[in-house]
Amino acid sequence: MTGVEPASGSVTGRGLFITLEGGDGSGKTTQAELLHEWLAGEGRTVVRTREPGGTAVGIEVREIVLHHRGDIAPRAEALLYAADRAHHVATVVRPALARGEVVIQDRYIDSSVAYQGAGRVLDPEAVRGLSEWATEGLMPDLTILLDLDAVAARGRLDEARTRYDRLEAEASEFHDRVRSAYLGLAEAEPERFLVVDASQPVDEIAAKIRERVALLTGL
């Protein structure tokens, strides 16, 4: 991917950029919390954030893309996510990395490629290129993909939700396309991705994540 740079965490002594990806209901929030607790306990300064919604601007964008009543054209949706991402990286992620901190982020560019590229059936490379331009090529040091089939994920959401957001409410075919896209991304970049079976017990998933992160941090 021409023009794409890693976050340069453990290699240069700067910060470490970790993203969590996966379908809705895969357990990203839980694993982000556990990873944050472990790293903080090891003395690392951690910034935990999400997209969309990691800034004041992002909160407004999140309300539009996830809770707007009525249709949003797929290209408009992709542009809204990219706009949020540009502001978020410029004001939260890059400054934290420059301070040498660990950024743990729920969703990033891979989400747009999977959800808007595959889910909305847009050109995945065009969607990726838009976000790469928006972020000036910043890519994570590690992306944790919590893989879970759409049926199991929907079962979890049914237990936890009284109301679905715009993406959660999409048909199973949409979520199947998203999952396939994620697995394709991980296969194409195995050095960046850690794929974990999200149907496993929470503590087993957390242990696998800590093991991989320890290799990057020297913990």
Predicted local confidence at residue 9, as pLDDT: 37
Q: What angle do CA 60, 175, 205 make, to 5 degrees?
A: 85
pLDDT band, very low/low/confident/very high, at 128 (cuts 50, 70, 90): very high
pLDDT surpasses 70 at 3: no
Q: What percent of the chain has a predicted confidence (pLDDT) above 70? A: 86
Tokens of 206: 């957390």
C-beta of residue 72 within 8 angstroms of C-beta of residue 64:
yes
Q: For the chain, what is the mean pLDDT?
A: 89
Do 112 and 131 meet the contact criterion of CB atoms below 8 Å apart?
yes
The CATH code of the domain that includes 85 is 3.40.50.300
Give the mean pLDDT of 195-209. Answer: 97
Q: Rounded to an integer, what distance in angstroms lies between the CA atom of residue 20 and that of residue 182?
A: 12
pLDDT classification of 150: cutoffs 50, 70, 90: confident
Q: Is 163 helix (H, G, I), strand (E, B) or coil?
A: coil
pLDDT for 2 beyond 50: no
Count structural domains, the chain.
1
What is the extent of the structural domain holding 66? 5-217
Q: What is the pLDDT of residue 12?
A: 38
Q: Work out the pLDDT band at 10, boundaries 50, 70, 90.
A: very low
Q: Given this model, what pLDDT does residue 68 score?
A: 78
- Beta-carbon contacts of 198 under 8 Å, excluding residues fewer than 6 positions away, are 22, 26, 27, 146, 147, 148, 205
Strand bridging mode 142-147 / 16-22: parallel
pLDDT at residue 159, as a whole number = 65
pLDDT for 4:
43
pLDDT for the residue numbered 66: 85
Task: Report how far Cα 160 is from the mean position of its chain's Cα atoms.
Answer: 20
How far, in Å, CA of 114 to CA of 147, rounded?
13
pLDDT at 11 over 90: no
